[in-house]
Chains A and B, each alone.
Chain A
Amino acid sequence: MAGQSKTGYETYYVPDSSKLAVSATIGMTATVYGAASFINDNSYRPGEETNSGFILVAGLVWLAATLFQWFSITIKENRAGMNSAQLKHSYVLGMQWFIFSEVMFFAAFFGALFYIRNLSGPWLAGQGEAGAMNGLLWPGFEYNWPLLTTPQDAIGGVQAQAAAGHLANNGEFTGAEKHLSFPGFANIAHWLPLYNTIILLASSFTCHIAHVAMKQNDRKKFNLWLFITVAMGFTFLYLQYMEYHEALFEYGIHLNSGVYGTTFFMLTGFHGFHVAMGTFMLLVQWLRSAGKGHFSANDQFGFEASSWYWHFVDVVWVFLFLFVYII
């Protein structure tokens, strides 16, 4: 075995120095400080004039501009032929492990969902030893999923909770009126998540067709199918927006509708955010190919990385569809 690098050992390009990191740090620091101040101002000093919103937006714009420049420098280096095969492999590894970290982020929220549905929910309703508290704290609470009657509802709302001498300083948790889970086969035609599932699964295939096309150097076909994929991404986001509208205004599901609203919005919300990211990434790749003629049959990493990300959000959706909507 001669070496470990699958790709051989040409000179590895190490940039001399770079202002990108410090610039990105400035943007991120302003973003983080601005976000925390903005949220605190809204919570603890509502209505007061503050500049925290401006700091947040300025930070985000600065960070985005820096990252734009960062990616554009990276692309230029690659197109100038500065990247050896070994360096390209570093980027591949970087993207793969980044996606793994995203998987673990979703794992935390899915873990929370499983814990609530299988353990703490039934316990609150009196199951098992831990459930001895049911009679004392939440008499009359029955657990079922989707949870439309919160423990607070079960004892008569936030006033009743306070009147019973329990601390009620977490605020009001009024359950939703209706849920968004599987509505039965009779109503399936009106069930948006099903459409979204079909769209997102199909978009993984269209994305793959585009990939194969680029491997065969068929740019026209690549542009077409990538465009279709991006369009499907936007369609998904639009349907998700409609679903949120329905949830908020017709079904009465809010972030404070107890743990059903909590898990529903947090899981679908983070997923939706990632779809938006993925759509944006693919859109950039489409612009690069259609507008600037980037990518070739043997070098298309920008697109490949975005497509892995796209398949990843697709897989997350399959789990969401199963555990948030169906089961």
Chain B
Amino acid sequence: MGAHHGPAKGLTRWLFTTNHKDIGTMYLWFSFAMFLLGGSFAMIIRAELFQPGLQIVQPEFFNQMTTMHGLVMVFGAIMPAFVGLANWMIPLMIGAPDMALPRMNNWSFWILPPTFLLLASTLLMDGGGPNFGWTFYAPLSTTYAPPSVTFFIFAVHAMGISSIMGSINIIATIVNMRAPGMTYMKMPMFVWTWLITAFLLVAVMPVLAGAVTMMLMDIHFGTSFFSAAGGGDPVLFQHVFWFFGHPEVYIIILPAFGVVSEVIPTFSRKPLFGYDSMVYATSSIAFLSFIVWAHHMYTVGMPIAGELFFMYATMLIAVPTAAKVFNWVTTMFKGSITLETPMLFAIAKVFLFTVGGFSGLMLAIAPADFQYHDSYFVVAHFHYTMVAGAIFALSSAVYYWIPKWTGKMYNETMGKTHFWISFIGFNLTFFPQHFVGLAGMPRRIPDYNLMFADFNMMSSIGAFIYGASQLLFLFNIVRTITHGKPVTDAKVWEGGTTLEWTVPSPAPYHTFTTPPEVK
């Protein structure tokens, strides 16, 4: 092996590869496929909600759609997409020859396609697929679940194993593989956010495995974790789940923070403002994520002391998050900014994520949450963080790095068009949901009061626009690969300062087989 060794030919290249770039590419394509699958579920949901009354699907199927939309988007689209970026970029950014454990890296990826095939196939099983929401609360997911829940449980186990192996690999890579001179406090922000994300994953994916194991035992083997008749408690499920679930949402958002922390300095042609404070803020957010889980459960009947503790702890998260937003804005301040597509997505991400952050603060207030709970306000809130926060950052990352990956430049006009259609479609979908939520429209219900009709129609139109714009995104990516204008510079963006801009475009199959010296 060595720098001159190219990839193998044909399908076996992808099946047997140990190359971080190949594996990163597979992760990215897989997650895009899942994004379209989860997106098509969302289109069914929005089509049904286009008008009040039941038009297109039965309520049972609607439940399966909301559940599968959430599961596929969280575990199939967003998480693997960021793992794909980590695979591609971390070795390039720290000057490493590859990931620390290359064969395990390939296994982490290949577990995913059959697992999601299994999960998707539950929709065709007797009794239908999972219909209990992506949060799978007991007893909906135990006593009242369809038989396919067993397949769901084992699918979660398999994707958990994949995530844990992937994260261990990322930690080992960052801790052990940095080039000489690349101290921790010189690492690019994206690498830092992934180090902390990987730690969160190793810490909480096993807890999710524990939660689904308890479900499996309750359903099939007579245990009573979640049955009060045996001395257990259904609320216990929520505690175990959200102990995983809250860090999980930061697992999704922290790498997105990392992406914009790379993109904004590049297009502002200024170093990231407050690098050290970014590191500390990211660490604080990770720490706090472990002690705020019950803010998802204010209405479940907790003692008042619990409500207060979780309320104050949750509000504390606003402090490091605000520090980050401040740093991004200050990085742009007096910068010589150009607005290429990655920058547009990054700015929109900062702005829209902040909107989601503010609605998060509203939801954090326990007494107010009694009104917002399980309403469309919550749906609006987390889509501002998940879609605008994570997926806008992913779009930004793809446009930012695709010249390095393919050696070709994407079509800027098409990119900007994608951005503006996405931006308008997204806000048209989710902004009205704040209003219907506050007015009392419950989430996860296929029908609604007539008074919500106009806003829901707007939402559905917005969703179709947003969905369609992703096809443009796909077209632009494919077109870049086939017909893109070749880029000749190693440094595709003149403001780029990190190590990936020192290797040729496209990045050779093997890079940094001898580590660079970082000053």
Majority secondary structure, B binding face:
helix
Number of residues of chain B lying within 8 A (CB) of chain A:
94
B223 A29 Cβ-Cβ under 8 A: no
Q: Which of the residues A90, A108, A130 comes within 8 Å of B301, measured between beta carbons?
A: A130
* Cβ–Cβ < 8 Å partners of A28 in chain B: 111, 158, 161
Interface size class of A (residues with CB under 8 A): 35 or more
A97 interfacial contact with B, CB 8 Å: yes
B168 A101 Cβ-Cβ under 8 A: yes
- Please judge, given known A-B contacts A39-B216, A100-B203, whether A262 and B232 are in contact too, CB under 8 Å: yes
Q: Which of the residues A17, A90, A121, A169 comes within 8 Å of B8, measured between beta carbons?
A: A17
* Cβ–Cβ < 8 Å partners of A212 in chain B: none
* Cβ–Cβ < 8 Å partners of A12 in chain B: 96-98, 177, 513
A188 interfacial contact with B, CB 8 Å: no
The residue on A at minimum CB distance from B94 is A4
B106 interfacial contact with A, CB 8 Å: yes
* Cβ–Cβ < 8 Å partners of A254 in chain B: 222
B1 interfacial contact with A, CB 8 Å: yes
**Max chain A Cβ within 10 angstroms of own Cβ: one of B103, B207, B213, B230:** B230
Q: Which of the residues A1, A87, A107, A173 comes within 8 Å of B227, measured between beta carbons?
A: A173
The distance from the CB of A237 to the nearest CB of chain B, in whole angstroms, is 21
* Cβ–Cβ < 8 Å partners of B488 in chain A: none
- Please judge, given known A-B contacts A150-B229, A256-B222, whether A14 and B210 are in contact too, CB under 8 Å: no
Stretch of A18-26, A196-204, A277-285 on the interface side? A18-26
B53 interfacial contact with A, CB 8 Å: no
Question: Which residues 51-93 of A have a CB within 8 angstroms of B?
Answer: 70, 86-87, 89-91, 93
CA distance A143 to B153 in the complex (A): 32
B33 interfacial contact with A, CB 8 Å: no
A11 B239 Cβ-Cβ under 8 A: no
* Cβ–Cβ < 8 Å partners of A43 in chain B: 147, 150, 219-220
* Cβ–Cβ < 8 Å partners of A205 in chain B: none
* Cβ–Cβ < 8 Å partners of A150 in chain B: 224, 229-231
* Cβ–Cβ < 8 Å partners of A186 in chain B: none
B178 A5 Cβ-Cβ under 8 A: yes
Q: Which of the residues A9, A90, A116, A119 comes within 8 Å of B172, measured between beta carbons?
A: A90
Residues in chain B within 8 A of chain A (CB atoms): 1, 5, 8, 12-13, 15-19, 96-98, 100-104, 106-107, 109-111, 114-115, 118, 139, 142-143, 147, 150-151, 153-155, 157-158, 161, 164, 167-169, 171-173, 175-184, 202-207, 209-211, 213-214, 216-225, 227-233, 235-236, 239-240, 243, 301, 303, 510, 513-515
A-B contacts, 5 of them at CB < 8 A, read A21-B106, A107-B210, A108-B243, A171-B222, A258-B232
